[in-house]
Structure 1
Amino acid sequence: MTLHERVLLLDVLDILKKHSNEQHTFTQKQVIDKLQEDEHYEFVQRKTVKHALQKLRDYGFVDAKAYSRNVKNQQTGEIEEITVYRDYYYKPPFSEQELHLLIDGILFSKHATYSMKQALIEKLENLTSEHFKSRKSYMIADDGIGLTDAQLFQNIRKLNEAMSASKKVAFSYNRYVVNARYELLFEQEKTRDGQVRQYVINPYQMVATNGRYYVICNNDRFDNLSYYRIDRMSHIVVQEEAVKPIKTLPGYEKGLHMPEHMQQHLYLFSGELITASIRFQKKRLTEFVDWFGTTQPYFSNQTTDDITATIRVNYNALRKWALQYGLYFRVIEPAQLVEDIKADIEQVWGNYFQ
């Protein structure tokens, strides 16, 4: 294949990629018309374009609708049925339904800024034709406060570098404050004497949950796991010191099993892992499974309307979850957790009725 033929293949593919899909096909003549808009193809031959389209179909980049035609065999004189291809269109790597699914995931992401979402969606749109209509117009601009896209990805890169080398990391943690002029600011946490607070952790895993990026880690001062929002971290420095192996932490002697861990730690709170029982109406079972999954619950005491589920879960996470879903779910064990939830409810009541 000559250089000219290769360039023609790319130009024909570009035309079909931009302007065609399965509902908006191109005939050979329409491809030629588009090519001839460029003076370099003013005298392009039909046979050359036909050959290019056949090559692109053979390579799997484009498809065409097949039609049957009866022709006379020049050697035998018999009428034979042959297949001819017309109405060519580009075959994108994703279907429109798949693109909508990917774009919706970006639109509803909380850990991507407005500019990042816009750039990602435009890249996805470029994978298909001009006839694809995304939901980019539904995007809402963010407030511009917090880390930039580049800073967030720099944080992720640094953490990945540290975990790959099994090294500790030091960093500053940021929070929102309101100054004397009532302006919302994003600044580093400070100690009581006004110095920037420095954190040093053993990083084990990064995870995206509840619309945010987190690093699962351990602080040497404690023997449990901690969780930090990656979009609130800054000034990350990979240390020379090796990480503390996660298998040295109580309860993680066999390592970290992520699917189970995420079901047990709903909001990524630190704290004790407990066995708890929850009583609820069976019509709420789908909501329960959405939170706690299908593998770990043990069900008992089923009646016509109600059922009890027993699970392993983080104490603090279930305490907060019980407040969020207290209208429909009642924690019945352990007793101390029930008492803590009652105290929380009394405090909520006091916030509104005292």
Structure 2
Amino acid sequence: MGKRMYYVFKFILENKDKGISAKEIQERLEDYEIYLDIKTVYSCIHQINDFFYEWLHENMITSIKRVGFKIQTDFLEDGELQFLLDSIVFHQDLKNDDKQNLQNKLLSLSSYHQKQRLVHFKPSKRDLHFSLFLNLTTIMKAIENKSVLSFQYINYVIKRNHLTEVPSLHGNNQDQYIISPYQIVSQNNHYYVIGYNDKFKNALSTYRVDRMRLIQTIRDSYIDIREQFDLTDEIEKTTNMYISQNRDTIQLECDQKLLRELVSRFGTDITAQKLYQQQYLVTILDTPISDGLIGWLMMLQDQVKVIAPESLQIEMKKRIEKMLTLYNHDNEI
């Protein structure tokens, strides 16, 4: 799309009225030292519609008699754009500048009237010391080119009662971590890179991308040991600290109002048997018995009771008794 087409498109997108005439477009183009006759303005609009037609399957710009040109179909539907903007603004690992830049790119294809229909949420103010986009880009290119990565991996110390970011000293060379990267995965709204660190022979290592700093490619031998592993299985085991290798069928007694919460976590492949009144016995097959599951069950407090397996029930009792001891100790003090 050339310069003149860009500005014709821009004027139509940003027009606040019901439409903009070819004459108005022609006059506004002159502000940018672009001089077109009316016929060429019509031709530009026709080319813009041709450009977007394969995506939209209809014309983006329509002409209304005695009104002018207006956006008939936005590139993204309102719901699609709202979802994408919200996903950006609420992502905890993105700098505010990166959030704003990405949102601006999405909105550049949005009409004035669509922007007015959107709900704009303000991002939380977090002072991040890294760019997730830059980290991901560097890692993805390294994976494609089979290049070795060097980076620092952060830890925290307390200074003046505040947590301060410092590099971990457990790398290949003190604070320098050296890996051959294989794959990026996403778990729990965080990105991870899986690769090989020669400190851990015949094993895969996993690092959270938002904890990596000063990432760069270096001239070193790329070591590929992926054939030794079922990478899909390794992803499940290593990228989520809440994932457990121990799996079992669990049964929970809960109120009917909790069923939606259970579906949100486990999906619809569960069975529910009515016990009495609004109480149900829910059975979930082949579920990881993990710290994440236990923490989630404890968060639900007295809304749910573990019936099986017995080992999970015993562990829940231990956790509850430990918490009770902790608070009773406070009362003694």
TM range (shorter): 0.7 to 0.9
Which of 8, 15, 28 lines up with 1:19 in the alignment?
15
Residue number in structure 1 paired with 2:154 = 174
Q: Structure 1 residue 322: deviation in Å?
A: 2.2
- The CA distance in 1 between the partners of 2:233 and 2:92, in whole Å, is 25
Instruction: Determine if the alignment matches structure 1 residue 88 to structure 2 residue 61.
Output: no
One-letter identity of the residue aligned with 1:140: S
Instruction: Determine if the alignment matches structure 1 residue 275 to structure 2 residue 248.
Output: yes
Question: Retained in 1: the 8 A contact 2:21–2:67?
Answer: yes
- The CA distance in 2 between the partners of 1:168 and 1:9, in whole Å, is 43
Residue number in structure 2 paired with 1:229 = 208
Q: Structure 1 residue 186: deviation in Å?
A: 0.5
- Aligned ranges for residues 245-324 of structure 1 at < 5 Å? 245=226, 248=229, 252=230, 255-256=231-232, 268-269=241-242, 271-281=244-254, 282-295=256-269, 297=270, 299=271, 301-304=273-276, 305-310=279-284, 311-324=286-299
Question: Retained in 2: the 8 A contact 1:167–1:202?
Answer: yes
Change (3 A) 1:313 1:106: same
- The CA distance in 2 between the partners of 1:288 and 1:225, in whole Å, is 33
Change (3 A) 1:217 1:333: farther
- The CA distance in 1 between the partners of 2:127 and 2:14, in whole Å, is 34
Instruction: Determine if the alignment matches structure 1 residue 63 to structure 2 residue 45.
Output: no
- The CA distance in 1 between the partners of 2:140 and 2:50, in whole Å, is 41
Which of 302, 308, 319 lines up with 1:327 in the alignment?
302
Residue number in structure 2 paired with 1:240 = 221
Q: Structure 1 residue 108: deviation in Å?
A: 1.0
Instruction: Determine if the alignment matches structure 1 residue 28 to structure 2 residue 22.
Output: yes
Q: Structure 1 residue 306: deviation in Å?
A: 0.6
Question: Retained in 2: the 8 A contact 1:62–1:88?
Answer: no
After superposing the two structures, state which structure 1 stretch, 284-293 or 132-141, moved more: 132-141
Question: Retained in 1: the 8 A contact 2:130–2:213?
Answer: no
Cα distance per residue 1:74-122 (max 9 Å; x no partner): xxxxxxxxxxx96312454223332222111101111211111111112
Identity %: 23
Residue number in structure 1 paired with 2:123 = 139
- The CA distance in 2 between the partners of 1:270 and 1:157, in whole Å, is 27
Q: Structure 1 residue 16: deviation in Å?
A: 1.4
- The CA distance in 2 between the partners of 1:187 and 1:128, in whole Å, is 42
- The CA distance in 2 between the partners of 1:319 and 1:265, in whole Å, is 19
One-letter identity of the residue aligned with 1:101: F
One-letter identity of the residue aligned with 1:30: E
Question: Retained in 2: the 8 A contact 1:172–1:189?
Answer: yes
SS of equivalent residue, structure 2 residue 232: coil
Question: Retained in 2: the 8 A contact 1:278–1:329?
Answer: no
Residue number in structure 1 paired with 2:56 = none
TM-score, normalised to structure 2, is 0.73
Residue number in structure 1 paired with 2:164 = 185
Question: Retained in 1: the 8 A contact 2:179–2:196?
Answer: yes
Gaps of 5+ in 2: 54-58
Between structures 1 and 2, the one with greater helix share? 2
SS of equivalent residue, structure 1 residue 307: strand
Question: Retained in 1: the 8 A contact 2:89–2:121?
Answer: no
Change (3 A) 1:320 1:197: farther
SS of equivalent residue, structure 1 residue 308: strand
Gaps of 5+ in 1: 1-5, 68-84
What's the Cα RMSD here? 3.9
One-letter identity of the residue aligned with 1:184: L
Cα distance per residue 1:229-263 (max 9 Å; x no partner): 21112455676363443764xxx5xx5169xx76x
Report which of the two structures shows the higher radius of gyration computed on alpha carbons: 1
SS of equivalent residue, structure 2 residue 327: helix
- The CA distance in 2 between the partners of 1:37 and 1:201, in whole Å, is 54
Residue number in structure 1 paired with 2:188 = 210
Q: Structure 1 residue 124: deviation in Å?
A: 1.7
SS of equivalent residue, structure 1 residue 331: strand
How many residues are treated as equivalent by the alignment? 310
Residue number in structure 2 paired with 1:118 = 100
